[in-house]
C-alpha cells in the first residue's frame, strides 16, 4: 500500500484466472486502489470467463491477494500486478475458482495430519519459434512453424550450417543455441518478478526447445509461479521478435514439452518422504503417495494433461512418461525418484506426466489428493504392479511391458476415467461434482471439435480409399 501511495506505482493490474488456467486482466490507476479494493474486490462479468457463469447470473468479484504482487515488466509503465481470488457477489468464495481448489487441497492436507506443507518444484519445457501461422477453413487447414534452429531449416537459402538434427539439442551451446540470450532475458524477468530461477537450458528439441527450472514452493505458491513463468516466458519471447509456446507437442517427430513436477510432503520441518533405508531413500509413506498417484493415474491425467495435443506427447520414443510405473531413474516411467537428492532435505519424487497446458491449481490439487488417498488406504506400489522398473521401459520384452499399465491414449479416454474415478477429489470439499462435471463437458467439446475436422494425414491415408 505504501508503494501505491508513494507514486512509484501508477497502475494496478488485477489478473484473474478462467477455469482452464488462462489469465485475464483489468487495470486500475493507482489512485483508484485502497484497502477497500482488497476487502470488497472488483466486479467482473463471469459469463465471459470460459468455464464460469451463465449470462443470467454473471456478476462476480475478484479480490486481489497482496502476497502475489509483482511488478509487471510488460505493461509499458510502472504497473503492479496482483493475482486474485474469485467470489460471489454475496461474499462467498466461488466454488469453481481454481485457486480456491488449490487452497482447499492445502487445507485438507493439513487437516489429515499427514503433513503441513506440500512442496512442488515444476520444470517447465517450451519451444521458442521464429514464427507460427495456422488457418482453419472448410476446404483447407494448415499450420507452419518457422525456426532457424530446426532440422528442416538446414537446407534453406541463407542457412549457415548450424541447424540441429532432430532430438539432438540437449544442453547445446551457441551459435547453434540461438535462444540462449532470450532464455537469459526470461530468467532476468522472472527474478525481477520474485521467482528464483535455479537453472535453464536448451532442451532436446532442435527447433528452440528450452527448459526453465524454478525454486520449489508450496502448492498454491507453485501454481501461482507456473502462471507467472508462462506469462513472462511468452512475453519476453515476444519482445525479442520470437514466439514461445507451452503446447505439449507442437513439432512432429521431436520431443514434446512436459512439466515434470517434483514433490515432497513436510511436517514440522521434517521431510516425510525420506527414509535412508527405504527403496531409493523413500519412506513407506512416499511409496503409498506414489501408489495413489499411479492408481488414479488414468483419471488424474484428465486434469494434468487436459488437451487433445497432450496425448500426442505421451507416445513412445520421446522421453515422455507413458507407463504408470515408478522407477529410480527411468525417464519413461510416470514417476522417477531423482538421484543425487536422496537426503533428509531433498528426498522427493518427480511426477513426469503433466504438461503445462494444464490449469496448475487443479492439477497440483488433484495430484496431492491422489497421493493422500494412497496414504490413507496404505497402498503399496509394488503389490499393485507399478514397479519399480529399472530397465528402459521402451525396450522391455513384450511380455514384461504388457504387464505395465499405460496412461490413456487420448483426452476422451482420460475424461471417461475421470468420470468413473473422482471420489478421491471430492474429499474435504476440495473439488466439487459441479466443477468435475463442467470440466468433463467442456473438455469433451474440445475433443469433439478435433474429431470433426479432416486432417492432412487423413488425406494421405484415405483420399484414394
For ligand GLU, the closer CB: 98 or 256: 256
* Residue whose grid cell is 488449490: 102
Q: Residues near 81 by Cβ (< 8 Å), separated by ≥ 6?
A: 12, 13, 14, 15, 25, 69, 70, 71, 72, 75
Q: State in angstroms the smallest separation of the CB of 145 from ligand GLU.
A: 17
For ligand GLU, the closer CB: 262 or 272: 262
Regarding 388 and contact with ligand GLU (CB under 6 A), the answer is: no
In angstroms, the Cα distances linking 164 to 184, 269, 319, 399 are 21, 45, 18, 36
Q: State in angstroms the smallest separation of the CB of 436 from Mg ion.
A: 30
Q: Residues near 331 by Cβ (< 8 Å), separated by ≥ 6?
A: 319, 321, 352
Q: State in angstroms the smallest separation of the CB of 245 from ligand GLU.
A: 14
Contact pattern from residue 160 through residue 199 relative to Mg ion, giving x for each residue in contact according to CB under 5 A and a dash for the rest: ----------------------------------------
Among ligand GLU, Mg ion, none, partner that 313 touches (CB below 5 to 8 angstroms by kind): ligand GLU
Q: State in angstroms the smallest separation of the CB of 320 from ligand GLU.
A: 4
201: enclosing H helix or E strand: strand 197-202
For Mg ion, the closer CB: 291 or 337: 337
Do strands 141-146 and 131-136 pair parallel, antiparallel, or not at all (unpaired)? antiparallel
Regarding 211 and contact with Mg ion (CB under 5 A), the answer is: yes
Question: Mind telling me the catalytic residues?
Answer: 45, 123, 125, 203, 211, 260, 331, 350, 352
Give dist(CA 245, CA 147) in Å, integer: 13
Cα torsion angle, 346, 350, 355, 360, sign: negative
Residue 62, CB-side half-sphere exposure with 13 Å CA sphere: 24
Regarding 258 and contact with ligand GLU (CB under 6 A), the answer is: yes
Q: Residues near 19 by Cβ (< 8 Å), separated by ≥ 6?
A: 49, 50, 51, 52, 96, 98, 359, 435, 438, 439, 442
Q: State in angstroms the smallest separation of the CB of 319 from Mg ion.
A: 8
- State the residue number with the nearest CB to ligand GLU: 258
For Mg ion, the closer CB: 149 or 211: 211
Please tell me whether residue 285 adopts helix, strand or coil conformation.
helix
Identify the residue among 13, 97, 125, 218 touching ligand GLU (CB under 6 A): 125
- From the list 89-97, 186-194, 255-263, 439-447, the region that binds ligand GLU by CB under 6 A is 255-263
For ligand GLU, the closer CB: 37 or 353: 353
Residues binding ligand GLU: what is the number (CB under 6 A)? 10
CB 128 within 8 A of CB 182: yes
Give dist(CA 66, CA 4) in Å, integer: 12
Give dist(CA 334, CA 323) in Å, integer: 6
Phi, psi at 259, each rounded to 5° = -135, 85
Q: State in angstroms the smallest separation of the CB of 320 from Mg ion.
A: 11
For ligand GLU, the closer CB: 63 or 212: 212
CB 447 within 8 A of CB 410: yes
Residues 295-334 contacting ligand GLU, CB under 6 A: 313, 318-320, 331
Q: Which set of grid coordinates corresponds to residue 190?
A: 522472472
- From the list 66-74, 88-96, 251-259, 383-391, the region that binds ligand GLU by CB under 6 A is 251-259
Residues making contact with ligand GLU (CB under 6 A): 125, 255-256, 258, 313, 318-320, 331, 352
Residues making contact with Mg ion (CB under 5 A): 211
Amino acid at each position: 500500500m505504501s508503494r501505491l501511495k508513494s507514486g512509484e506505482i501508477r497502475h494496478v493490474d488485477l489478473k484473474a484466472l478462467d477455469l482452464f488456467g488462462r489469465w485475464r486482466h483489468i487495470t486500475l490507476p493507482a489512485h483508484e486502489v485502497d484497502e477497500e479494493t482488497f476487502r470488497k474486490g472488483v466486479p467482473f462479468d463471469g459469463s465471459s470467463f470460459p468455464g464460469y457463469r451463465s449470462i443470467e447470473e454473471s456478476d462476480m468479484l475478484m479480490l486481489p491477494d497482496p502476497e502475489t504482487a509483482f511488478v509487471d515488466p510488460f505493461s509499458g509503465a510502472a504497473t503492479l500486478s496482483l493475482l486474485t481470488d474469485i467470489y460471489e457477489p454475496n461474499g462467498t468464495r466461488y466454488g469453481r475458482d481454481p485457486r480456491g481448489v488449490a487452497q482447499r487441497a492445502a487445507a485438507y492436507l493439513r487437516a489429515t495430519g499427514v503433513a503441513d506443507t506440500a512442496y512442488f518444484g515444476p520444470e517447465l519445457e517450451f519451444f521458442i519459434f521464429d514464427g507460427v501461422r495456422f488457418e482453419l477453413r472448410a476446404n483447407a487447414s494448415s499450420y507452419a512453424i518457422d525456426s532457424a534452429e530446426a532440422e528442416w531449416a538446414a537446407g534453406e537459402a541463407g542457412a549457415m550450417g548450424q541447424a540441429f538434427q532432430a532430438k539432438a539439442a540437449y544442453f547445446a551451446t551457441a551459435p547453434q543455441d540461438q535462444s540462449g540470450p532470450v532464455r537469459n532475458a526470461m530468467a532476468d524477468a522472472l527474478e525481477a518478478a520474485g521467482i528464483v530461477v535455479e537453472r535453464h537450458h536448451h532442451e532436446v528439441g532442435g527447433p528452440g526447445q528450452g527448459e526453465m527450472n524454478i525454486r520449489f514452493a508450496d502448492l498454491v505458491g507453485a501454481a501461482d509461479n507456473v502462471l507467472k513463468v508462462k506469462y513472462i516466458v511468452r512475453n519476453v519471447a515476444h519482445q525479442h521478435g520470437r514466439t514461445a509456446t507451452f503446447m505439449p507437442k507442437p513439432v512432429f517427430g521431436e520431443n514434446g514439452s512436459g512439466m515434470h513436477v517434483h514433490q515432497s510432503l513436510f511436517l514440522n520441518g521434517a521431510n516425510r518422504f525420506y527414509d535412508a533405508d527405504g527403496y531409493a531413500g523413500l519412506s513407506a509413506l512416499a511409496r503409498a503417495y506414489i501408489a495413489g498417484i499411479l492408481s488414479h493415474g488414468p483419471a488424474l491425467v484428465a486434469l494434468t494433461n487436459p488437451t487433445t495435443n497432450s496425448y500426442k506427447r505421451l507416445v513412445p520414443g520421446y522421453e515422455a512418461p507413458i507407463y504408470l510405473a515408478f522407477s529410480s531413474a527411468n525417464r519413461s516411467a510416470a514417476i522417477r525418484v531423482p538421484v543425487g537428492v536422496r537426503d533428509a532435505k531433498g528426498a522427493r519424487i518427480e511426477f513426469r506426466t503433466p504438461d503445462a497446458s494444464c490449469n496448475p491449481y487443479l492439477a497440483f490439487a488433484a495430484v496431492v489428493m491422489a497421493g493422500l488417498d494412497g496414504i490413507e488406504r496404505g497402498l503399496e506400489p509394488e503389490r499393485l504392479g507399478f514397479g519399480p522398473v529399472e530397465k528402459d521401459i521402451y525396450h522391455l520384452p513384450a511380455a514384461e511391458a504388457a504387464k505395465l499399465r499405460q496412461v490413456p491414449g487420448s483426452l476422451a479416454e482420460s475424461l471417461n476415467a475421470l468420470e468413473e474415478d473422482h471420489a478421491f477429489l471430492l474429499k474435504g470439499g476440495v473439488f466439487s461434482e459441479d466443477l468435475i462435471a463442467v470440466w468433463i463437458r467442456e473438455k469433451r467439446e474440445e475433443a469433439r471439435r478435433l474429431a470433426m475436422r479432416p486432417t492432412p494425414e487423413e488425406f494421405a491415408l484415405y483420399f484414394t480409399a
